[in-house]
Each structure stands twice: as C-alpha cells, then as structure tokens.
Amino acid sequence: MIRVFFAEWRKLRRPTLFLGTMGAVAGVTALVTSLLFLLIDSERGNAREGQMISRQTLELPQGLSIGFSSAAGLLGLVALCVFASQTAQEYTHGTLRNLLVRQPKRLTLLLGKFISMCSFALATVFVSAVVSIALAFALSGKAKVATTAWTTTDARTALFHTLINVFLSVLASGTIGMILGLVFRAPIPAISLGVAWLLILENIIAATVKHSATWMPGQLITTISAGGDFNASYMHAMWVVSAYLALGVLVVSVLFRRRDVSN
C-alpha cells in the first residue's frame, strides 16, 4: 500500500495539477475571505446565501476562522474534481491494467490511491487556512474589526476545530468524487454530475422542498464544515453523510473487484 501511495503522489505532484489546484484553492479562499470583510457594511450581506456576518461576530475568537469555514464548499468542489479525475482517468487512459500488474490486489490499490488523495486534500485545506488567516489580519483594519480576541487560546482552539471540520467536509466531497469516478469510469460525466448535483440541484430542492436539506449529502457536508447550522445538528450531519458514503464505498468496492479494468 505504501508503494501505491507514493506512486499516486507521482501524478498528484505534477506542476500542472499540484500548482494549478493550490492556486485555485488560494484564489477561491481569498475571494470568500475578502468579500467577508470588504462587504461587512453591505445591505446585501457578506456571506453565502446573502447572510450577514456582523463586525461584532468577526471580533469574536471564532471570527478568525469564519472566512476559512465559508470557503469549505468551494474546497469540496475542488476535491471532488481531483478525486473523480484521478480515479476515472485510469480507465480512460488504460493505465489501471498496468497498475494491477504491479499490485494485483484491487482493494489494496484502491485504498492506497484514496489515502494518497486524502493527503493531497489535507494540503489544500492547509493552504486555504493560511490564505484566509493572512487576509483576515490584512483586511481587519480596513473593515474596522478588532483582532484582540484572534490571538487568544480560544481563537486557536476554534481554528483547530474548524480545520478538522473543513477537512472532514472536503474529504466527504472528495470521496463522492471518487465514487462517481469508479461508477462512470470517465472524468467528464463523473465531475459534471457531481458538481451539478451538489452545486445546483441540491440548492433548488432545499429551497423548494421543506426539510429536504436535512437529508441531502451536499447540504449536510456544508453543515459539517460549519460545525452545525440551521439545517441540522453537527452529529446528525456526520451520521447521515457517513451512511451515504459507507453505502457508496460498498457498492463501488464490489464493482471495482468484479468489473473489467478497461472502459
């Protein structure tokens, strides 16, 4: 499994993929965090779905990590695309057969690839956290937000919890991408279906069907990144998302073991 892990990282560390992904992560985090502070007095809101996060809220110890947490949804989409493409392109390029010659145990190969991509997702989360924190301090003066509470122990604890929650949400989105990649065995349908469902269809259903947000994976993944919100409690989101992922992993494990390795 260790050799599978490092073999997968040989692809993940390619400059076009690694630097491109980290640049995208830094960009979306910078955008979300900047809007949070620059639109702090806007009547249209400064957070997702037109919500308003006040100056008093940002001055709390938890205020330092709000921008980072708000970017979790976009980080999840990046993870979904990376996991789906890195999984499905093995079928498209016909390289999976060669990999199985070196590692004939299919589930071992799959687990090694998954762990490698999880470490890649963790790197994106750290990059996002650094960018968000740096911008929060840089823009706090312009937004007239006091940063005294951001250097306390409570702020560090809140940031640590947010880091864990964001990573779990990003990991859940990435796992969905890997499941779709194994099901469709082609990057384009896997990515397009995953993004369309999580970004568009779920939001439409949640806005039109009462209480539906408490059972849809994308909405609950957002709840996990926020540590719980108005849609559902943190533990409810964790249990439901875990059940969805466990079912998906079980299905694709059977498919991966029994289906032909070519597309």
* Block residue for tokens 């009547």: 43
- DSSP tag of 73: H
Reported as a single tens digit per residue, the pLDDT across 142-174 is 888 888 899 999 999 999 999 999 999 999 999
What angle, rounded to 10 degrees, do the helices at 234-258 and 106-143 form? 150
Domain count, the chain: 1
pLDDT of residue 144: 87
160/59 Cα distance (integer angstroms):
18
User: Is residue 86 classed as helix, strand or coil in its secondary structure?
Assistant: helix
User: Does the residue 155 lie in any domain?
Assistant: yes
The radius of gyration of the chain's CA atoms, rounded to the nearest angstrom, is 19
pLDDT of residue 184: 92
pLDDT of residue 249: 94
pLDDT of 76 over the 80 cut: yes
pLDDT of 261 over the 80 cut: no
pLDDT of residue 121: 95
pLDDT of residue 256: 87
pLDDT of 49 over the 70 cut: no
pLDDT of residue 263: 56
Q: Which domain holds residue 167?
A: 2-258
pTM: 0.91
User: Does the residue 133 lie in any domain?
Assistant: yes
User: Does the residue 138 lie in any domain?
Assistant: yes
Calculate mean pLDDT across residues 199-206: 87
User: Does the residue 263 lie in any domain?
Assistant: no
Q: What is the DSSP string of 126-187?
A: HHHHHHHHHHHHHHHHHHT---GGGGSHHHHHHHHHHHHHHHHHHHHHHHHHHHHHHHH-SH
116/8 Cα distance (integer angstroms):
6
User: Does the residue 199 lie in any domain?
Assistant: yes
User: Does the residue 20 lie in any domain?
Assistant: yes
pLDDT of 42 over the 80 cut: no
User: Does the residue 19 lie in any domain?
Assistant: yes
- Which one has a higher pLDDT value, 260 or 163? 163
C-alpha torsion 168→173→179→180, nearest 10: 180
Nearest to 68 by CA among 180, 170, 186: 170
User: Does the residue 114 lie in any domain?
Assistant: yes
